[in-house]
Amino acid sequence: MKNKNVLITGANKSIGFETARELGLLGYKVWLGSRDHDRGQLAVNRLTKDGIDAQLIIIDVTNMLSINEAARRIQHEDGKLDVLINNAGILGSHDVAPGEQPIDDIMAVYDTNVFGLIRVTQAFIPLLKCAQNARIIMVSSGLGSLKWVSDLNHPYSRVQAMGYTSSKSAVNAITVAFAKGLMAEGISVNAVDPGYTATDFNGHTGYRTVAEAARGIVWLAAEANADITAGFYFDQNRAPW
């Protein structure tokens, strides 16, 4: 993808890193977002060894100064952003009954998963408007699907993580809001469920590999029709909200 670039938050490991690797191999310039410099630089070094044009960009989605500095840097060096992938997220307390999960914990989850996503998206809209057929991808979760979690026969209904699951439901709603708001600008906005993937996030208990998880994200970023917007996808198929 000549002259196209992508910013991925939380990309120094797991699904974010694999997404960066696959898009980099497709020819995208990768802005690898990481809160931690050393971990981020190690990830960038791995990508550059594969011949990928990758740059570390320090970004903490809970810190507006960090976000604005990242936006200024990309503005200065590239003048546009073709793809924004909001991947950063935290789990918070889990296996805790809703009546027992501390409010402070839920607020921390929302600060990253919901407000962080909004902060980053709003900050980069001007750069996305400077690209043709720009795309925004929200990495959500099947646990955010109200249909799935309310179905007592579905395995997701047995997960106790109110802060996380409700934050991903909010991500889905935010996806629709941004999609409608940016439709006239030609910017597509979609959410994607990577599936239950073996990562540090879940103690590597997931049944999917990071490559399988990244496939749907890469598809939305590089292969799906540019006019697809306001959707929630799992493995290139529409998932229920």
Task: Say if strands 237-238 and 54-58 run parallel, antiparallel, or are unpaired.
Answer: unpaired
Angle 149-153-159 from CA coordinates, rounded to 5°: 40
Rounded CA gap, 26 and 23, in Å?
5
Estimate the share of the chain in helix, then strand, then coil, as percent rounded to the nearest 5. Answer: 50, 15, 35
Active-site residue, selected from the candidate residues 164, 180, 207, 233: 164
Active site (annotated) includes residue 168: yes
Rounded CA gap, 138 and 115, in Å?
13
Rounded CA gap, 91 and 165, in Å?
9
Contact 189, 196 (CB under 8 A): no
Active-site residue, selected from the candidate residues 28, 29, 110, 168: 168
Closest CA to 130 of 60, 84, 87, 79: 79
List residues with catalytic annotation.
Answer: 164, 168
